[in-house]
Amino acid sequence: MSARILIVGAGLYGAVCARELHDAGHQVLVIEQRDAPGGNCVTRYVEEADCHEHMHGAHIFHTDSDRIWEYVNRFARFNSFVNRVKVQHAGQLYSFPINLFTLYQVFGVRTPAEARAAVARERVEIAQPANLEQHCLATVGPTLYRLFIEGYTRKQWRRSPAELPAEIIKRIPVRFDFDDNYFNDRHQGIPIGGYSALFDRLLAGVPVQCGIDFLPDARHWISRFDHVIYTGPIDAFFGHAHGALEYRSLRFERELLPTCDFQGNAVVNFTEAEVPWTRILEHRHFDRSSPGRRPGVQHTLITREYPADHGPGLEPYYPVGTEANRRRYERYRSLADEAFGGQVHFGGRLAEYRYFDMHQVIGAALAHVGRFTRGEWRTPAMPPARRIAHQGA
């Protein structure tokens, strides 16, 4: 049976849901507050540098799932880009994430056995690490922590690492071989032609209305549809009734330079607290392995990323995963579960207040579509007028 479905937000979660539900025969409408689909993945072509600019920071697709990889390849061809980050600290360049070459640069070790022994000597005995700083000290010791983690973390979160949960850093690998691929996943790359082209194909044939702010007219929108998929901030949806969830934001400073190559790498992190930016992206390197690039281009585009407090007009990029914020989110989650009886589904990075990699977003969206198709999204019926009355935005 065909349902009328509204999807609020044309980022990756919303676009995947839209594609699948549209193909299943449902009447789908996507509304988006920005002027184009794509969310934070959006890219644009810069002719002078002959590359695609990642408008909201680097987005490198990676997954260990054959199913997810096959899914995204329905909508784009991917180049062979591999993320091999470099770190600059006190004028020195290091390989990152920490690998055998990094450990050679820092400690002079040459073999995996020597590297393991050097790190073991550095480790601080902490029985149950309670925060990010303690986790790092117990895992790699003070030298590597101060070189690669401490200053970067203070800038990114504007908090002492001792105030942050260890989960923030656990996704960064430490290796005792020369593997400098940032990710462990088997599949990795960037869409040839940029992410915006991928979104054009994901949303082909699906009605999309841009420039629409859902929240001021939320009751009206909800009343017109059988099911609503909301991908915006969950606290804003409920009028910040339990207070605002904390985020960190970013400020981007782009510069077109009259040189064919500025730093020789796509991503260079700057880990000293005194350097105001956290990293420099050079966009040509994201496209370097894509076919069809023009030879002899004499300009390059770089972006400096500056951490920023989240506020009006700034994008909420990173949830601040403190215990207080987790408790606040759970209150919103309970409010959503109690108020809408399944009519409104909250999905994606902002609605679930968690950091997602792109492959995780796709997996979560496909899982929700599966539940919707099986009818598992329904809970005991609540009259539509009551559901809408509970809406606090």
Residue 279 annotated in active site: yes
Q: Which residue has the tokens 């977003």?
A: 361
Q: Which of 175, 284, 328, 387 is catalytic?
A: 175
Of the candidates 152, 235, 248, 317, the residue annotated as catalytic is 248
Q: Is residue 171 annotated as part of the catalytic site, yes or no? A: yes
Active site residue 230: no
Chain centroid offset of residue 229 CA: 19
CB 224 within 8 A of CB 116: no
> Per the residue annotation, which of 4, 44, 77, 171 is the catalytic one?
171
Nearest to 77 by CA among 203, 194, 182, 186: 194
CA angle 40, 148, 186 (to 5 degrees): 55
Question: Among the options 179, 185, 272, 357, which is catalytic?
Answer: 357
Residue type, 34: R
Tokens of 109: 């070790």
Note if 333 is an active site residue: no
DSSP symbols for 73-124: TTT--B-------EEEETTEEEESSS-HHHHHHHH---SHHHHHHHHHHH--
Q: Which residues, 6 or more positions from 202, have their beta carbon under 8 angstroms from its beta carbon?
A: 15, 16, 18, 19, 75
Bridge partners (DSSP) of residue 306 are: 251
Q: In the numeric block, which tokens belong to residue 234?
A: 């969950």
The reply to whether 349 belongs to the active site is: no
**Tokens representing 212?**
């629409």
Catalytic (active site) residue 293: no
Task: Catalytic residue, from 45, 104, 318, 355: name it.
Answer: 355
HEC string of 292-328 equals CCCCCCCCEEEEEEEEEECCCCCCCCEECCCHHHHHH
Q: Quick check: bond before 97 cis, omega within 30?
A: yes
In the structure encoding, which two tokens stand for residue 139, read together?
């895992």
Which residues on adjacent β-strands are paired with residue 301?
Answer: 256
Closest residue by Cα to residue 94 from 180, 154, 153, 172 = 180
**From CA 229, how far away is CA 364, in angstroms rounded?**
13
94 counts as catalytic: no
Active-site residue, selected from the candidate residues 50, 150, 287, 305: 305
Q: Are 107 and 118 in contact (CB under 8 A)?
A: yes
Positions annotated as catalytic residues are 171, 175, 248, 279, 305, 355, 357
